[in-house]
């Protein structure tokens, strides 16, 4: 495992180069501002008149249309949602690419699954912070950084890795450490983590625990505290100290109960389902499904969002988060 820190990386590889950050959402804003404040030449490429145009200008950045930014830049860093990257690339970026340019991403999705097919005479790289954009920005402003990943899919110029690492340093990632990976590894593990554990698995576990208590006659508010609210406390302990530190800090009752009962919740059937989810990611089945969903206007996603909003745990949670001062 190769890990790079501040002392290992030279920003001079990006001297006299312009970086176009395409998109100004959570990651786009954080990375654009961080790199700019690190002394790199950054422009932002946006849809003219879009919601982010004035925001980026107010932040003090040079704002151009996507076509203009891509033409001006030596490095085009694409930070718009996965599902629109291919269309935007074909319409506004591909034609203006020049030999020796670098196209860069923070997620390997569109390159790994061949939705974006880069020409052979450019670099294809990845700089991926392992934190939400707001955290990337806050940590940078406080003099720290979040860990990150870099990957090179195509090295035309011979220094594609050095370019990616310099961008990572500009974003503050080398302060915490940057690991080398591949587009395949980052994409497949990222999708699996989201689906099986972080977003899909965790929310379903919380919902099931909440509903079990409510169906047994316990107050929904108490059920929410026990199955959702306190989860952050446990995750924070694991994040800082690992499993061992968490077990040390909870009660002996919690430790014994958790260790002796957890495999009755996550069973062999659950593990088999995880393997199936991973297989669907590896074979491209999930990405084909997601592409069809978006081509149809995302009807299933919209329906599931509405169903999620209507859950009892969401209504109870909104009320309790306001009481706790966590939500306005």
Q: 140 a known binding residue? A: no
Residue 30: other Cβ atoms inside 10 A: 28
Q: 269 a known binding residue? A: no
Q: 162 a known binding residue? A: no
What does each C-alpha distance from 305 to 251, 308, 314 come to in angstroms? 37, 5, 12
What does each C-alpha distance from 200 to 121, 124, 197, 274 come to in angstroms? 39, 30, 6, 11
Task: Take residue 294 and report the two structure tokens written for it.
Answer: 């978006």
User: Could you give the CA distance from residue 32 to residue 49 in angstroms, rounded to a whole number?
Assistant: 19
Q: 171 a known binding residue? A: no
Q: 106 a known binding residue? A: no
DSSP run (H or E) holding 185: helix 183-192
CA R_g for the chain: 22
CB 220 within 8 A of CB 316: yes
Collect all residues with Cβ–Cβ distance below 8 Å to 29 and sequence separation of at least 6.
52, 55, 56, 59, 133, 137
For residue 135, the 8-state DSSP code is: H
Q: 190 a known binding residue? A: yes
Residue 4 bears catalytic tag: no
Q: Is 118 helix (H, G, I), strand (E, B) or coil?
A: coil
What does each C-alpha distance from 308 to 171, 184, 275, 277, 302 come to in angstroms? 35, 31, 26, 21, 10
Catalytic residue from among 107, 112, 229, 248? 107
Q: 25 a known binding residue? A: yes
Q: 24 a known binding residue? A: yes
Q: 27 a known binding residue? A: yes
Task: Take residue 133 and report the two structure tokens written for it.
Answer: 């954009």
Spell 136-171 as b/e; 16+ CB within 10 A means b. bbebbeeeebbbbbbbbbbbbeeebbbbbbbbbbbb
Closest of 143, 122, 141 to residue 133, by C-alpha: 141
Q: 104 a known binding residue? A: no
Q: Which residues are annotated as a binding site?
A: 24-27, 47, 52, 133, 190, 194, 226, 230, 251
Q: Which residues are annotated as a binding site for Mg(2+)?
A: 190, 194, 226, 230
Q: Which residues are annotated as a binding site for substrate?
A: 251
Q: Which residues are annotated as a binding site for NADP(+)?
A: 24-27, 47, 52, 133
Question: Which residues are the active-site residues?
Answer: 107
């Amino acid at each position: 495992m190769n890990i790079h820190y501040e002392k290992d990386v030279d920003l001079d590889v990006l001297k006299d180069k312009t970086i176009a950050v395409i998109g100004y959402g959570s990651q786009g804003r954080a990375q654009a501002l961080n790199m700019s404040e690190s002394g790199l030449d950054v422009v932002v490429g946006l849809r003219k008149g879009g919601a982010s145009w004035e925001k980026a200008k107010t932040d003090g950045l040079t704002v151009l249309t996507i076509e203009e930014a891509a033409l001006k830049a030596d490095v085009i860093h694409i930070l718009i949602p996965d599902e629109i990257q291919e269309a935007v690339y074909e319409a506004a970026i591909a034609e203006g690419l020049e030999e020796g340019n670098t196209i860069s991403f923070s997620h390997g999705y569109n390159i790994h699954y061949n939705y974006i097919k880069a020409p052979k005479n450019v670099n294809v790289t990845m700089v991926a912070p392992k934190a939400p954009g707001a955290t990337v920005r806050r940590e940078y402003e406080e003099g720290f950084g979040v860990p990150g990943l870099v990957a090179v899919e195509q090295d035309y110029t011979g220094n594609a890795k050095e370019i990616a690492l310099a961008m990572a340093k500009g974003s503050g990632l080398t302060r915490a450490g940057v690991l080398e990976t591949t587009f395949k590894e980052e994409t497949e593990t990222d999708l699996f983590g989201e689906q099986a554990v972080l977003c899909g698995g965790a929310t379903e576990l919380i919902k099931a625990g909440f509903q079990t208590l409510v169906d047994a006659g316990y107050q929904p508010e108490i059920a929410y505290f026990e199955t959702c609210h306190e989860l952050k406390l446990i995750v924070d302990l694991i994040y800082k100290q690992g499993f061992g530190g968490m077990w040390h800090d909870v009660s002996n009752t919690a430790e014994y109960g958790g260790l002796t009962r957890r495999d009755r919740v996550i069973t062999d059937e659950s593990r088999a389902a995880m393997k199936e989810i991973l297989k669907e990611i590896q074979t491209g089945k999930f990405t084909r499904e997601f592409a069809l969903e978006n081509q149809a206007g995302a009807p299933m996603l919209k329906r599931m969002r509405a169903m999620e909003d209507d859950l009892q745990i969401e209504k109870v949670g909104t009320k309790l988060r306001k009481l706790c001062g966590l939500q306005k």
